[in-house]
Amino acid sequence: MFGNWLKTSLLMAAIMALFGVIGTYIGGASGMVMALLFGGAMNLFAYWFSDSMVLKMYNAQEVDETSAPQFYAMVRELAQRAELPMPRVYLIDEAQPNAFATGRNPEHAAVAATTGILRMLSAREIRGVMAHELAHVQHRDILISTISATMAGAISALANFAMFFGGRDEEGRPANPIASLAVALLAPLAASLIQMAISRSREFEADRGGAEICGDPNALADALIKIDSYARGIPMPTAEAHPATAQMMIMNPLSGGGIANLFSTHPATEQRVARLRELARA
């Protein structure tokens, strides 16, 4: 638990440093102060409201034992096995098979799955996926992923502002337009690198924890193979519009290549499956 709080603190500090750098570029010392104040406000907002913001972004609909009895009962059984409070359960009307967990702690957690994953996977495989998401809750790293998604989006918005409205030096003179373009490109990239540094090891740990919760490592391995195969050919428009949220998913939802996939926050599916197969053999 201490390790995850340390990661969260380092993440916030790194994001705040980015806010300061961009603010200094936009308006010198006064711009840095304004950007740091904005970043501090965003950190507080992200801590309390980023989960509801992400769920709303994906138009996630909360379900219960009446509206989705089998799925809800599955999550409840897994939460009991993991000795966790019952999270809120959501469905997202998207064809791509995917899922994520969010919330600031296990007492305020939510898990969400797409309708596509319920159609494409067997009940055993879905159980493995939801166990993976509950492992994120159990490890208390859902706050890290949700805050990093929110703050990376804010960094991108601030960097775009810098590109379109330009920056000022200490004497108030307009900055070099090439520097404006560099800030607009490099600041979001730096935010993505921060996400990547934290997220990859987190996914391996959630795979391991999920295998322990559901008691069936091969179920999660089989699910990952299917999700990887289907997700490549089925776009998720919300994730494409908000790529900073991609690292929250069990599988990278972004299509095509480019920067987003070059600096993927997810380990290779082959590596994840190999580790799970080894767990099953052990």
- Residues carrying an active site annotation: 133
Kindly give, in sequence order, each residue whose CB lies less than 8 Å from that of residue 193, ignoring residues fewer than 6 positions away.
263
The CA-atom distances, in angstroms, between 132 and each of 37, 126, 186 are 36, 10, 32
Tokens 């810098």 belong to residue: 162
Dihedral angle of Cα 63, 149, 243, 222, to the nearest 10 degrees: -60
Q: How far apart are CA 32 and CA 19, in angstroms?
A: 8
| 3-class DSSP assignment, residue 92 | strand
Residue type, 24: T
CA distances from 193 to 17, 20, 55, 62 (A): 14, 17, 24, 32
